[in-house]
Amino acid sequence: RLSKRLEKVASFITQGVQFADIGSDHAHLPCYVCLHDEDAYAIAGEVNEGPFRSARENISRHGLSDRVDVRLGDGLQVLQNGEVALIVIAGMGGSLIKTILDEGKDRLSNVEKIIAQPNIGEHNVRRWLYSHGYEVTNEVMVAENGHIYEIIVGDKRADGQKLTEKQLLFGPHLLNQKPKLFYQKWTHEYDNRKRTVEQMKNAKSPDDKKIAAFTEELTWIGEVLG
Ligand code: SAM
């Protein structure tokens, strides 16, 4: 069974698309998508030998070797430019996702949709998307195993809108809709950051700039929680 988190990611994948799942681990996502959509075709990218091998075994066990192509390599380097229309990068930190996208910019010319599920540091992903011609068109939150995950969907747009610092942090759609999980996540984050600011203030040589930035975020969080 696919995790609730990856099931939600899968729900944003266009029918019949040729897509890449970067950092695919056991290739659970591409197998699930191809088993449910006979017109889909996937490339599973993995940088580590262990997961690469389990991905290959999993794909072959599902009889999908002709529709899920597993490739060993770093980030988007496993792709030819123009090969896929959609990319998924899930289950990593937002800054790693940003680095993978940055280093693979030359592989994106046909990529219309990017689905990212950063575990932390979501703002890095949103900033990358809007500054590279992708508009954040959808965002959802999923709770699983005691963690609240954000799934961010970017669609290529000629005239995507610029996001404010506040929208980058909370997500433009999540900020509008404020689902139940939004309150749960940000109440928890508020307490965490408050503790962090206290610790920073008590440090031997406090970093005033960092303290100011954290304090500003705390104010924003307080405001959005109302
Ligand atoms: N995407 C799956 C998910 O969401 O459940 C697996 C997430 S797993 C925590 C992260 C995977 O990304 C690991 O298998 C790791 O080897 C792989 N990975 C990390 N950096 C990578 C990179 N630069 N290129 C490709 N794969 C990478």
Report ipTM for this prediction: 0.99
Which tokens belong to 210?
Answer: 């960092």
Q: How many residues appear in the chain?
A: 226
Q: Measured between alpha carbons, how far is 219 from 214 in angstroms, rounded to an integer?
A: 9
Amino acid residing at 58: N
Specify whether 102 is located in the same domain as 44. Answer: yes
Rounded percentage of the chain residues whose pLDDT exceeds 70 = 100
Which neighbouring-strand residues pair with 25?
Answer: none
- The residue contributing the CA closest to ligand 1 atom 10 is 23
Q: 61 is in which domain, residue-wise?
A: 4-160
Q: Is it the case that residue 160 has pLDDT exceeding 80?
A: no
Which neighbouring-strand residues pair with 135?
Answer: 155
Specify whether 22 is located in the same domain as 62. Answer: yes
- The residue contributing the CA closest to ligand 1 atom 17 is 23
Atom of ligand 1 nearest to the CA of 75: 24
- The residue contributing the CA closest to ligand 1 atom 11 is 23
Structural contact between residues 115 and 85, judged by C-beta atoms closer than 8 angstroms: no
Query: How far is residue 127 from each of residues 11, 14, 98, 123, measured CA to CA in Å?
Result: 23, 23, 9, 6
Distance 190 CA to ligand 1 centre (A): 29
CATH of the domain at 153: 3.40.50.150
What pLDDT score was predicted for residue 47?
98
Domain-terminating residue out of 111, 128, 160: 160
Residue 176 within any structural domain of the chain: no
The mean pLDDT value for 7-12 works out to 98
What pLDDT score was predicted for residue 161?
79
Amino acid residing at 169: L
Atom of ligand 1 nearest to the CA of 99: 23
Sheet holding 18-22, edge to edge: 68-72, 41-46, 18-22, 86-92, 113-118, 147-156, 134-144
158 falls in which pLDDT band (50, 70, 90)? confident
112 falls in which pLDDT band (50, 70, 90)? very high
Which of 28, 27, 19 is CA-nearest to residue 1? 28
Q: Measured between alpha carbons, how far is 88 from 85 in angstroms, rounded to an integer?
A: 10
Specify whether 51 is located in the same domain as 142. Answer: yes
Residues with CB under 6 A from ligand 1: 6, 22-25, 45-48, 51, 74-75, 90-92, 100
What pLDDT score was predicted for residue 169?
97
- Probe target for ligand 1 pocket from 13, 48, 58, with the most ligand atoms within 8 Å of CB: 48
